[in-house]
A and B are shown apart, each in its own frame.
Chain A
Amino acid sequence: MNKHVSPRMNRRAFVIGTAAVGAGLAIGLDIPFGGPAVVRAADGSPEIGAWVVVRPDDTVVIRIARSEMGQGSLTGLAQLVAEELECDWSKVSTEYPTPGQSVARKRVWGDFSTGGSRGIRSSQDYVRKGGATARVMLIQAAAEAWKVPASECTVANSVITHAPSGKTTTYGKVAEAAAKLTPPADVKLKDPKDWKLIGKGVKRLDTAEKTTGTMIYGIDVKLPGMLNAAIKDCPVFGGKLKSFDEAKITGMMGVKKVVKVGDTAVAVVADTWWHAKTALEALPIVWDEGDNAKVSSESIAKWLTEGLANEQPAYVGNKNGDAKAAIAGAAKKIEAVYSYPYQNHATMEPMNATAVYTADKCEVWCGTQNGEAAFAATLEASGLPAEKCDVHKVMPGGGFGRRGQTDYVRQAVLIAKEMPGTPIKLLWSREEDMAHGRYHPITQCKMTGAFDADNNLVALHYRLSGQSILFSLRPEALQNGMDPAAFQGVAQTGEAAFGYSVPNLLVEHAMRNPHVPPGFWRGVNVNHNAIYMECFMDELAQAAGQDPLEFRRKLMGNHPKHLAVLNAVAEKIGWSTPAPQGIYRGIAQVMGYGSYVAGAAEISVTDGNKIKVHRIVASTDPGYVVNPAQVERQIAGSFVYGLSALFYGGCTVKDGKIEQTNFDTYNSMRINEMPKVESVMVPSGGFWGGVGEPTIGVAAPAVLNAYFAATGKRIRSVPLRDQNITFA
């Protein structure tokens, strides 16, 4: 079986199993299979519960519902299952069930969504139970065969032992019998102190194919008779396709068909993608751009700036005391306005999907962060019912939040519908990918801080103005119009709680939703909230004449976990000792996705505008660390992503369109610009926080604060390239 591509299950056994079990399955929590009808994988090996397949040769296949996109969750989730299963890790492989299979089995594998750093933290409980359930059934099968109590049997590395009789067997030998047993109603999970595999930096399970060119990404899918499509959507968001002159490209090399896609786009289908793209570029297209064509970065900025004024309506996200009154009566106050731009995900692999449609069936192959959302898009675009559709997940060349959206899936199905029976691979050019992102939202923030006569911070007013992601993508999650996610990192409680106690606090959001579609961009609202708050915290410290670290510490007495990670980076960077000559330091902390994170940087600045990052330190407390080697890579990777956005990113709008077209105008850090990231993991246990995103928040403010220390200049807008500041 080709792991990570499409697992092929035995359809017949699958249908029997579903019918036998019937209704009443909790999502993933209740492992429903077993009993007389054994569910089998494609090679005939039995399932021991939905999460585990055991083959006669003792190899174990672990089912993974969430998507791997480079972040390592595939390996981490397998570790969680294997920990409880007590199987031989060297014989573990993984496979993706399809969303269609999951839906047909009443979502036995639970949520497929892989965003918000939830891959592990939101499924750790039921996947571990999946492993534990299979273990109990396998031991039970051995015990019954030996006619001994299961309680006298032990297991390690897939070998079951009955010590009193000296008998041993292996998982592969008892799998058939185990699959016929009724699963236990409840299983006890291991105490974390007994974990052997969780917490170990084992190697990823999907590396070899990524070094030989054999890993299949969406762009690499090949189906018999497949044609290729290139697409252009109206470059002004909200605009429409008016007309195109097909005759001008008729007869061009390889062209098979020109297709209108929805109301807004046109695609050329050809034998090769190169031919499709070449013909598309030659196709005269007339757009109905609509009123949005009048929008520019300047008009958006003006609208957002208006929202900073106190008279404008705003949603209150966090509040205590009376900040406005305290500021009015304060001995001293300071104010600053910051801004953060649109950002494109710019995954290395542009959006793509392959679809084949007939009146009886529609199948899609694509990289996606949410198989079920891609499945829903397939249903909607094809007009076919769930039992006639499926989505086969392949490796995405990066996700970062972009592939949680399904616009490209819908397009591929709509094109395939125009050519029934012919598989169509739709691939966006990089230029299309830059023009049709789901961008990190644009915001501004005005912050006002007030001190008493002793330089104690007595009030803070944090007023955001700008775009809401939920308004656009998940309006059902708004709370009386308010976007609670807008307050990530500055929220009162929860998984992204503010880490400071200020006697009078007001955090509010004047929502302004420009026409540029926002999306969940790695770190999401933590990115700008952490820059705003942590850079302004430095400004407050300066105004109070205090050390930035000491100033923060005084406000963090009630926030011990926030403080612990801050202290960890301070110690690692050597905050209490003077920096080397010409080197300056900055520090920052934030909470996001259930994890506490902090960062510290050491930089030098030449000519006032050339920054060299000499050291950068990150600390995280995600509760439990499943695979420290992968967590370390996520921290370092998040810093590359966050600092790329700080230095080089930023998408601007002109005539309603995004101006940046490719990596020449939307650059990304290279190896020569990136220092080694020193990671300090301080997992305090007892909770499960995310890993892929939170640390991104502290990279930029740590560097910006160090820049102030070096130059005495505050930078209050991103990207640095707009201010002629770059890497040394």
Chain B
Amino acid sequence: MADLTINGKTFTLDVEPDTPLLWAIRENAGLTGTKYGCGIAQCGACTVHIDGVATRSCGVSVGEAAGKKITTIEGLASGNALHKVQEAWIAQDVPQCGYCQSGMIMAVAALLSEKPKPTDADIDEAITNICRCGTFQQVREAIHTIASA
């Protein structure tokens, strides 16, 4: 059993402490917005915030995450008000298949909370998620739109 604080709510989950956080979030907490892409922290589809830091949840165990504040894509909005990254993603039609976009949005939200006006170089350094559809152009443009708002 493990207690995880996800999106401000405490989940008491029947899960072994060495289970990757990704699978505890998806299968035990039932929050499927966080995606599995590689399981080896390469692609970023499983990115969540742990104490505000963008983290690939497939590479973190439940034991390591216990006691920390975890935010998933489902918890990014404040009530009915979407996060500015989500709003920009909709306004600029960023996603194609959309599978990687939960992780992409979480990575971008973390970047913007640290650097509200990122340069292209900042984006290049911080956003290392794989998108096989190739939405990078729209991702970059949407980040700049948010930054200049």
Binding site for B on A (CB under 8 A): 69-72, 203-204, 206-217, 219-220, 222, 228, 253, 272-274, 346-350, 395-400, 427, 429-430, 629, 633, 636-641, 644, 662-664, 668-672, 674, 676-677
Contact = CB atoms under 8 A, between A and B. Distances in A.
Contact of A212 (B43, B74, B123): B74
Interface string B44-84: 01000000000000000000000000001110110000100
- Across chains A and B, which 6 residue pairs bring their CB atoms closest together, nearest first? A213-B33, A640-B134, A397-B99, A70-B97, A210-B98, A70-B96
Given A211-B89, A397-B35, A641 B134 contact: yes
Contacts of A348: 35, 37, 43, 45, 97, 99-100, 130-133
B89 A207 contact: yes
A663 B138 contact: no
Nearest to A216: B32
B10 interface: no
Given A207-B90, A400-B132, A429-B39, A637 B96 contact: yes
Given A208-B90, A629-B93, A398 B101 contact: no
Given A207-B89, A253-B16, A349-B99, A668 B130 contact: yes
A85 B76 CA distance: 39
A346 B132 contact: yes
Contacts of B38: 430, 662-663
Contacts of A644: 132
Nearest to A672: B124
Given A70-B98, A213-B74, 4 more contacts: A213-B72, A219-B32, A348-B130, A399-B97
A212 B140 contact: no
| Max chain B C-beta neighbours (<10 A), residue from A72, A204, A216 | A204
B128 interface: yes
A391 to B, nearest CB: 19
B137 A674 contact: yes
7 contacts: A72-B96, A211-B101, A220-B32, A397-B97, A398-B132, A662-B39, A669-B136
Contacts of B33: 212-214
Given A207-B90, A211-B105, A212-B74, A640 B131 contact: yes
A284 B93 CA distance: 47
Contacts of A72: 96
Contacts, number: 175
A211 B86 contact: yes
A662 B40 contact: yes
B148 to A, nearest CB: 17
B31 A396 contact: no
B73 A668 contact: no
A175 B123 CA distance: 51
A215 B133 contact: no
A211 B95 CA distance: 8
Contacts of B90: 207-208, 211
A374 to B, nearest CB: 17
Contact of B31 (A71, A213, A429): A213
B121 to A, nearest CB: 9
B2 interface: no
B139 interface: yes
Contacts of B127: 670-671
Contacts of B119: none
Contacts of A216: 32
A399 B97 CA distance: 9
A670 B130 contact: yes
Please classify the interface of chain A as helix (H, G, I), strand (E, B), loop, or mixed, using the class held by over half of its residues.
Answer: loop
B76 to A, nearest CB: 8
Nearest to A629: B93
Nearest to B143: A671
Given A70-B133, A348-B37, A207 B97 contact: no
Contacts of B139: 671
A671 B97 contact: no
Interface in B98-146: 98-102, 105, 123-125, 127-140
Contacts of B27: 228, 272-274
Interface residues of B, number: 57
Contact of A350 (B28, B36, B101): B36
A160 B72 CA distance: 47
A534 B86 CA distance: 41
A543 B76 CA distance: 59
By secondary structure, the B interface counts as loop
Contacts of B124: 671-672
Contacts of A206: 98
Highest count of chain B CB atoms <10 Å: which of A207, A662, A668, A670: A207
A640 B16 CA distance: 39
Contacts of B137: 636, 674, 676-677
A69 to B, nearest CB: 6
Nearest to A201: B93
A668 B20 CA distance: 24
A215 B34 CA distance: 11
B42 A213 contact: no
Max chain A CB contacts within 10 Å: which of B31, B34, B97? B97
A214 B93 CA distance: 16
A75 to B, nearest CB: 9
A445 B89 CA distance: 43
B93 A672 contact: no
Contacts of A429: 39
Contacts of B86: 211-212
Interface string B15-32: 010011001000110111
A253 B30 CA distance: 19
Contact of B42 (A228, A663, A674): A663
A204 B73 contact: no
Contact of B98 (A215, A346, A668): A215
B123 A671 contact: yes
B43 A672 contact: no
B145 to A, nearest CB: 14
A633 B23 contact: no
A612 B134 CA distance: 18
Nearest to B121: A672
A349 B127 CA distance: 19
Contacts of B128: 670-672
B43 A274 contact: no
Contacts of A395: 97-98
Given A70-B98, A633-B135, A211 B82 contact: yes
A395 B33 CA distance: 13
Contact of A71 (B40, B43, B72, B96): B96
A228 B28 CA distance: 13
A446 B98 CA distance: 40
Contacts of B93: 203-204, 207, 629, 633
A637 B94 CA distance: 12
Contacts of B76: 212
A212 B73 contact: yes
A674 B136 contact: yes
Contacts of A641: 132, 134
A219 B36 contact: yes
Nearest to A228: B27
B136 A213 contact: no
A412 B111 CA distance: 40
A677 B139 CA distance: 13
B80 to A, nearest CB: 11
A210 to B, nearest CB: 3
A633 B138 contact: yes
A398 B23 contact: no
A636 B127 CA distance: 18
Contacts of B97: 69-70, 347-349, 395-399
A663 B39 CA distance: 10
A633 B141 CA distance: 13
A430 B33 CA distance: 18
A693 to B, nearest CB: 13
B40 A664 contact: yes
